[in-house]
């Protein structure tokens, strides 16, 4: 089970020039915003990565504004976030064994990151309503392949409620307002 003590979030390449090109981009971005807000309330660590931001642009404003106060994005050139030593160090610093992953594109950077995190012994949950690709069938193929490799699938709402585990959680009302 996910808990606030054993879980962190990895945000992969939700950038200004990439987002408009993917399927259901508005819904995916809105879901990621909900997840980030909920995780911030629950004090779950968030690691934020951008693919070649000097060429592709930064993270979309809706997400960047939520994260700017406490974090800086990690710039990368490799498709997998694990190709970047700063990323690997940030993940290790969290001391979390469970990693939630959102981002784009599902079949390239998200897939390769998930595959490498699994190889490194992390438990990975792909937030299906928080990932996308330009072509929906690529997203579906990526989810199947990530699941075959051992990643679990989840959703924004499912992950947030799993992290709280009880109606009596002190942040239940606050998180519930974000989801609804």
pLDDT in tens, 115-132: 999 999 999 999 999 999
The secondary structure of 117-179, three-state, reads HHHCCCEEEEEEEEEECCCHHHHHHHHHHHHHHCCEEECHHHHHHHHHCCCCCCCHHHHHHHH
SS3 content of the chain, % helix, strand, coil (to 5): 50, 20, 30
Grouping H, G, I as helix, E, B as strand and the rest as coil, residue 95 is coil
Cα–Cα dist 42/40, whole Å: 5
pTM score of the predicted model: 0.95
pLDDT in tens, 43-74: 999 999 999 999 999 999 999 999 976 678 99
4-28-101-175 Cα dihedral, nearest 10 degrees: 0
Domains of the chain (ranges; CATH) run 7-179 (3.40.50.850)
């Amino acid at each position: 089970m996910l808990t606030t003590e054993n879980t962190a979030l990895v945000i992969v390449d939700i950038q200004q020039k990439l987002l408009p090109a993917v399927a259901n981009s508005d819904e995916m971005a809105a879901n990621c915003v909900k997840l980030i807000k909920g995780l911030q309330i629950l004090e779950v660590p968030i690691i934020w990565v951008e693919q070649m931001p000097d060429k592709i642009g930064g993270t979309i404003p809706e997400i960047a504004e939520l994260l700017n106060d406490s974090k800086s994005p990690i710039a990368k050139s490799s498709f997998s976030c694990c190709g970047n030593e700063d990323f690997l160090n940030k993940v290790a610093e969290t001391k979390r064994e469970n990693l939630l992953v959102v981002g784009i594109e599902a079949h390239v950077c998200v897939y390769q990151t998930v595959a490498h995190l699994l190889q490194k012994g992390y438990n990975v949950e792909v937030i299906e309503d928080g990932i996308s690709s330009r072509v929906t069938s690529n997203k579906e193929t990526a989810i199947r392949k990530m699941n075959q490799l051992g990643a679990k699938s989840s959703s924004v709402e499912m992950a947030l409620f799993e992290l709280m585990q009880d109606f009596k959680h002190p942040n239940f009302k606050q998180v519930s307002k974000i989801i609804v």
